[in-house]
Amino acid sequence: MVNRKPISSRRILAAACLAAMGIAGVLVARGEPWAFLAARAARAAFAAGRSEDAAGPLQRWLDLRPNSAEANFLMARSRFAAGRVAEARRSLDRAEDLGYPARPVYRLKALLLTRAGMFAEAEPILLNLLNESDEPDPELDEALTRVYLETYRLELAAKVIRRWMLDAPKDAKPYLWLTEVDSRLEVDNPGVEERHYRDALALDPGLDKARLGLARSLAKLHRDEEAIAEYEAYLAANPSDPAGLLGLGEIRLNRGELDQARSLVGRALEIEPANPVAAKQLAALEVRRGDLPAALEHLTAAIKGDPLDVDALYQRMLTYSRLGRRSEAEDDRRRLDALRADQVAVVKLRDHLLADPSNVELRLEMASWMLQHGRDDQAIRWLRNILASQPRHPKASRLMADYHERRGELGLANHYRLLGETAQAGP
């Protein structure tokens, strides 16, 4: 019989350590600890509402685990939050291919489509997600509100905003969106606006957009002291914003506080030299000084910056008359009559759109009018909405091509012109 020496506990422990080290070596070689740490850091960033901090850990996670459905999905969320829509869409498609759960994929897809202006595609997904869930989802409420606003279905937008208020009773943003509905309707009711802005500020006292809106509403109501206080509070947080400087400057000007008004206008012009509102306020200051030629120069600059400013055109007509320049005054009078007639026509067009918001021809007519009258930003928004659902629409493509050509952006102009010509040629 062979005698075996008992195995000491020290030897057992040593063997166990060697085995553990071997397993750890395999795991390290496969990147398991680093992938785990990166995943934990990414999830923690999202849980804390800091999606911008998740990008680095997510990239490390994906470098180690490119086939992780969760990592690809969270990268899509991170890129969406950063405004990188095309990259977010690619990450989301990858997460979907890898089997990530359907509902969060479709939810993020709807938000991406909305951000990209593809409202026709986004709307049914948003409606399905909201209708099938009993849980509040303010982000989807906001997206659907945007869809209805941008497609001119303003009554539906207002209804969704009311739902949004119930879903997120502590969120100030829905109250701002209500004022946006009113502005699209061109409803000038500063008393209602004041209430909405005050409601927003009660929920978020640091919401600058609401502070500025409240100041403007109070100025319209001729409650100068309150408006001045709100403008000053806004400017304390945003000292270089021409909108705040000129809003306060207009009140000072109307009250005859000319030195203060001139100082505010001067500060605004240092920041934005071609601001048409500043030019118009300078003209009013020169009229007070009796320098009509200087006022005329500033009014001409204001009209160049904003060709649809009826008041600036009217003031220039009066200034020409006071200077005895009857021919120029008569030219401005005719231009003023035409502009007022145009504005009546566009109000009628807006009313037709409210009745038939999906009518593409009406939307094209509105975009064309805006391009002709210097409202390029609004026109391009209308055209992009059309092209998002009909990428080769001939007239919309042609208007986009003309716009980019006028700006000297020949590559984009050729792109849109080719799209329109291809659509007209057919398959």
Residue 387 counted as domain residue? yes
129-174 per-position pLDDT tens digit: 999 988 999 999 999 999 998 888 888 999 999 999 999 999 999 9
- Give the separation between CA 404 and CA 378, rounded to whole angstroms: 15
Mapped to the 3 state alphabet, what secondary structure does 117-155 carry? CCHHHHHHHHHHHHHCCCCCCHHHHHHHHHHHHHCCCHH
- Give the separation between CA 29 and CA 27, rounded to whole angstroms: 5
- pLDDT category at 363 given cuts 50, 70, 90 is confident
393-420 per-position pLDDT tens digit: 888 888 888 888 888 888 888 888 887 7
Compare 133 and 373 and report the one with higher pLDDT: 133
Compare 346 and 313 and report the one with higher pLDDT: 313
pLDDT for 238: 96
Q: Point out the least confidently predicted range of 91-105, 374-388, 411-425.
A: 411-425
Going from the C-alpha of 336 to that of each of 45, 281, 324, 325, the distances in angstroms are 57, 20, 19, 16
pLDDT for 155: 87
Residue 256 counted as domain residue? no
pLDDT for 426: 52
Q: What's the number of CA atoms in the CB half-sphere (13 Å) around residue 398?
A: 9
Instruction: Please check whether residue 149 is in contact with residue 161, taking contact to mean a CB–CB distance below 8 angstroms.
Output: no
pLDDT for 18: 40
257-285 per-position pLDDT tens digit: 999 999 999 999 999 999 999 999 999 99
- Give the separation between CA 332 and CA 330, rounded to whole angstroms: 5
- pLDDT category at 187 given cuts 50, 70, 90 is low
189-212 per-position pLDDT tens digit: 788 899 999 999 999 999 999 999
Residue 423 counted as domain residue? yes
CATH code, 415: 1.25.40
Residue 21 counted as domain residue? no
- Give the separation between CA 58 and CA 252, rounded to whole angstroms: 53
- Give the separation between CA 318 and CA 283, rounded to whole angstroms: 12
- Give the separation between CA 192 and CA 187, rounded to whole angstroms: 10
Q: Which two tokens stand for residue 389?
A: 């659902």
Non-local (6+) Cβ contacts of 8 within 8 A are none
pLDDT for 423: 57
pLDDT for 139: 95
Residue 50 counted as domain residue? no
**Mean pLDDT for the chain overall:** 86
Mean pLDDT across 347-353 = 82
Residue 192 counted as domain residue? no
Q: Which two tokens stand for residue 255?
A: 């009250």
Res. 101: pLDDT tops 80: yes
For 379, the domain range is 365-427
What is the percentage of the chain residues whose pLDDT exceeds 70? 90
pLDDT for 186: 58
The residue among 231, 242, 250 whose CA lies nearest residue 275 is 242
Q: Give me the number of domains the chain comprises.
A: 1
Angle of the 242-254 helix axis to the 258-271 helix axis, nearest 10: 160
- Give the separation between CA 382 and CA 133, rounded to whole angstroms: 32
Q: What is the CA radius of gyration of the chain?
A: 30
Mean pLDDT across 111-134 = 90
Mean pLDDT across 328-335 = 95
221-234 per-position pLDDT tens digit: 999 999 999 999 99
Residue 384 counted as domain residue? yes
Backbone region of residue 395 per phi and psi (left: phi > 0; alpha: psi in -120 to 50; beta: other values): alpha
Res. 72: pLDDT tops 70: yes
pLDDT for 26: 40
Q: Which two tokens stand for residue 12?
A: 């057992």
Res. 119: pLDDT tops 70: yes
Per-residue b or e along 280-302, where b marks 16 or more CB atoms closer than 10 Å to that residue's CB: bbbbbbbbeeeebeebbbbbebb
Mean pLDDT across 341-353 = 83
Instruction: Please check whether residue 77 is in contact with residue 46, taking contact to mean a CB–CB distance below 8 angstroms.
Output: yes
Mean pLDDT across 382-396 = 81
Residue 159 counted as domain residue? no
- Give the separation between CA 119 and CA 356, rounded to whole angstroms: 16
